[in-house]
Amino acid sequence: MAKTPPAKKTAVNKKAPAKGASGRPAGLFTWIAVGLVVVVVAGLVIIKVAGSTTSSSNASFQPADPAIVAQLTSVPASVLDTVGVTSPVAAVSPPQALKGQPKLTGKSSTGKTLPEVFYVGAEYCPFCAAERWPMIIALSRFGKWTGLGNMESSTLSGEAFPGTPTFTFLKATYTSKYLVFKSAELYTNVFDAAKNYYSPLQKLTAQQSALFKKYDTPKYVKGMQPSNAGAIPFITYANKFIISGSSFTPAVLASQTRSQIAGGLSDSTSPVTDAIIASVNYQTAVLCSLTKNQPGNVCNAPGVKAAKKVLALP
């Protein structure tokens, strides 16, 4: 895996600028866009959100195409194992290990206590858009998704990586005998001119907010500047591993439709597929560390073993 550059020191503007403010590059993948600051942190690209949220509805929710979901949740084993953690075109960053932290657990639909994966993002965010692809695929190897919705990141003029095709977890349900998944999409991709920011969507619980504020900080995220605490996307894998930012640049998905990206997942020679699948294998290896390497056919797969070797996991 190619090395990515270190974090660039960038000031965070917590007050959203006027609609249409243009993004401007300040490094390899460093952008300042509408109401947000995007920076490189330890090889990850992040977005900084501003302000608190309140609950809101999203009238434009569109269920994901079942055929596309099927492609996501049935990536050929040959592709997963051929790619492994190799992505020649775009560098892929693995999750970061946390040491000595209390394990995050949740209750499954059957009342069983299981390791919890918790995600914080927003529908306007192109880096969240990129990260949802490998997340959905990796988690599908341990359980089943329902209720995923179609989504694209903001198309506002001047926005970084506008219209990145993706999904939303707004109404999603994940069922697994190994893991619990919870999520919060803090904002829609609809810009509210009156508030000079994106419309609020879901609100964190008090426990989730405390978790987010504790771990999405320089104390736990390698290379993060203090001003970038609270960046999205943020994912904690039972407080044993975390991701703050996208594992690969959304530029990989540029000029691709949702259908084209999903359809390409059967082609291990596709640069888009390589970036997504390399991240999938890293995330799967981390999930296997939470499930005591179950199911065996997933956790003993060659692609996952390659990721375990990089992450120094048994």
Tens-digit pLDDT profile for residues 134-147 = 999 999 999 999 99
In the predicted structure, residue 240 carries a pLDDT above the cut 90: yes
β-sheet with 149-152: strand ranges across: 62-63, 149-152, 165-168
* Least confidently predicted of 29-38, 78-87, 182-191, 273-282: 29-38
> pLDDT, tens digit, for every residue of 70-100?
999 999 999 999 999 999 989 999 999 999 9
Determine what percent of the chain is predicted with pLDDT higher than 70.
Answer: 81
Mean pLDDT across 150-161? 94
Confidence of residue 9 (pLDDT cuts 50, 70, 90): very low
Q: Is the pLDDT of residue 121 over 70?
A: yes
pTM, whole model, 2 decimals?
0.84
* Residue 202: closest CA among 149, 137, 131: 149
Confidence of residue 111 (pLDDT cuts 50, 70, 90): very high
How confident is the model at residue 34, as a pLDDT? 34
The 10s digit of each residue's pLDDT in 38-74 is: 444 444 445 555 544 333 444 589 999 999 999 999 9
> Is the pLDDT higher at 228 or at 233?
233
Indicate the domain borders of the chain: 31-311
pLDDT score for 14:
28
- DSSP assignment string, 46-102: EEE--S-------TT-EEPPHHHHHHHTT--HHHHHHHTT--SSS--PPPEE--SPP
pLDDT band at 174; cut points 50, 70, 90 = very high
Q: What is the pLDDT of residue 47?
A: 58
pLDDT at site 49:
56
Looking at the predicted structure, is the pLDDT value of residue 192 above 70? Answer: yes
pLDDT at 28: 26
Higher pLDDT, 12 or 92: 92
Tokens 């290379």 found at? 223
Whether residue 24 has pLDDT greater than 50: no
Answer for the pair 269, 80: CB distance below 8 angstroms, yes or no.
no
Instruction: Supply the DSSP string of 234-295, one letter for each residue.
Output: EEEETTTEEEESBSS-GGGGTT--HHHHHHGGG-TT-HHHHHHHHHHHHHHHHHHHHTTS-S
